[in-house]
Amino acid sequence: MHDTYGVLLGLFIVYVAAQVGAEAAMRLKLPAVVGEIAAGCVVGPSALGWVKITEPLAALSEIGAVLLLFSVGLETQVADLRRVGKAALAVGVSGVALPFVLGGGWARLTGFDTPQALFVGAAFVATSAGITARVLHDLGVLGRAESRVILGAAVIDDILAMLLLGVVTALQGAAGVDIPRLLIVLVQALAFVFFIAVVGTRLMRRTSAVLDAPINPHSPLALSLALCLGLAVEAAHLGLAAIIGAFLAGMVIAESRQRHALEKQVQPILSFLVPFFFVTTGAKVDLSQLGSWSVVGTVAVVTLLAVIGKIVGCGVGALSMGRRSALIVGVGMVPRGEVGIIVASLGASAGVFGPKTYAVIIVMSLLTSVIAPPVLKALLAGAPPEPAPEASLLVAVDETGNA
C-alpha cells in the first residue's frame, strides 16, 4: 500500500508541475513545451528535489515519447509528401544537412568520438512543426506560400530526422563491432524503415477496412495502439530507437480511413501521458552543470550553430522564393522542440551524452523554441500581404497547430 502511495504521489507532482508550467508558459506567450520542461527542472533532483526518476516514472515517460511520435506520424501522410513540391523538398533536405554537419562537426572538434558526434548532429536536425504552426495559425498566415513550404518541409524534416536517428543509433549500438556486422545492422534498420514506410502505408491504404472489422467499439484505436507498441518494440529489437517504430506506425495509420477519428481519440491519451515525458526530461537536467561561464558559452555557441544551421540551410533551399521569404522560412524552421529533446534524452539514456552535453542540448532546444516565434512574427508583420490561395490547407494545419 505504501508503494502505491509513493508511485501515485510522484505522478501527481509531475502532472501538476506540467500543467502549471504549461499554463505559465502560455501566459508568457511561450510554447507549452518550454513550460513543461522548465517545470521539470524546478521539481527535479537538482533544484527542489520533489520528484525522483523512479522506474515507473521512467517507463511512463518512455510511453509518452512513443505516443507523441506516433501522433507526429499520424499527421504525416504520404500524399502530403508528394504534394509539398520542390521548394519544400529542397528546404527539408538542405535544412537537415547543414545543422547535422554543424552539430556533428562542433561535437567532433570539441572531443567527442565519431559515433557520438553523429548523435549530437542528429539532435540538431529535427524541426518542431507544432510550435511554428501554432505561431502561423495565431497570425492567420497559414495560407501564405512561406507557411506551406515550412509545414511541408517540416514533414520531410521529420522523416529525414528519423532516418538519421536510425542510422546513428544503429551505429551507436554496433560501435566497436566489426564493419560487416555494422553494415548488416544498418541495412536491417534501413530495410525496416523503408518496408514500413512504403509497403506498410500502401497496404493500409488498400485494406483500411481491417480496422473496422472487430465488434469492440474502441477497436480501431486499440489496433492502432497495438501497432504502435509492436513497431516500437520491433524498432528497439533492431537496435533503432523505439520512437522510430512508433512514428512509422503513425504513418501507416495515417493512410487509414479512420485517420481523423483516431487523431481525436489519441489527443486525450497524449494529454495524460506526454507531460510525464517532458517533465522527466526537465527533471533529468542537472542544473549545477549550467553554473559555470564556460558552459554558458557552450550553450551560446551551440544555440547559435543550431539557429544558423536552419536559417542558412533552409534559407538556401528557399532562395527561389526571394530573399525575404527565404528568411521567413529559415526562421520558421528554427524551433527544435519535442523531437530534438527526444533525441537528447535517448542520447542520455544510451550513455552517449554526459550530464553536461545533455543539459546543453536541452537548453538549446528550449532557446530555439523561445527565440524563433517573436522573430517570425516581426518578419511576417513587415512582409507584404498575400492572399490565401488554398483554404483546405487551413484545416490540415490547424490540427498540427493544436498537436
CB of 303 to its own copies, least distance (A): 27
Quick check: 239 and 62 in contact, CB under 8 A? no
Q: Judged by CB, which is closer to its own copies: 67, or 311? A: 67
CB of 8 to its own copies, least distance (A): 5
Give the relative orientation of helices 355-382 and 32-43 as an angle to the nearest 10 degrees. 150
Give the relative orientation of helices 355-382 and 114-123 as an angle to the nearest 10 degrees. 30
CB of 325 to its own copies, least distance (A): 31
CB of 185 to its own copies, least distance (A): 13
Residues in CB range of 49: below 8 A, 6 or more apart: none
* Grid cell at residue 312: 542558412
Q: Judged by CB, which is closer to its own copies: 4, or 294? A: 4
Q: Judged by CB, which is closer to its own copies: 268, or 385? A: 268
Tally of CB atoms within 10 A around 30: 20
Quick check: 216 and 37 in contact, CB under 8 A? no
Q: Which long-range contacts (CB under 8 A, 24 or more apart) does 272-276 make?
A: 273/60, 273/63, 273/64, 273/67, 274/64, 274/65, 274/67, 274/68, 275/14, 275/15, 275/18, 275/19, 275/22, 275/36, 275/64, 276/11, 276/14, 276/15, 276/18, 276/57, 276/60, 276/61, 276/63, 276/64
CA 252/CA 223 separation, integer angstroms = 12
CB of 79 to its own copies, least distance (A): 26
CB of 223 to its own copies, least distance (A): 7
| Of residues 33, 2, 44, the one with CA closest to residue 280 | 44
Q: Judged by CB, which is closer to its own copies: 265, or 289? A: 265
Q: Judged by CB, which is closer to its own copies: 90, or 346? A: 346
CB of 11 to its own copies, least distance (A): 6
Q: Judged by CB, which is closer to its own copies: 262, or 366? A: 262
Residues that bind its own copies (CB under 8 A): 1, 4-5, 7-9, 11-12, 15-16, 19, 22-23, 26-27, 32, 55-56, 58-60, 62-63, 66, 169, 173, 214-219, 221-223, 225-226, 229-230, 232-233, 236-237, 239, 242, 265-269, 271-272, 349-350, 402
Q: Judged by CB, which is closer to its own copies: 28, or 191? A: 28
CA 344/CA 362 separation, integer angstroms = 7
Q: Judged by CB, which is closer to its own copies: 110, or 271? A: 271
Q: Judged by CB, which is closer to its own copies: 59, or 300? A: 59
CA 262/CA 378 separation, integer angstroms = 36
CB of 334 to its own copies, least distance (A): 24
CB of 10 to its own copies, least distance (A): 9
Q: Judged by CB, which is closer to its own copies: 11, or 383? A: 11
CB of 278 to its own copies, least distance (A): 13
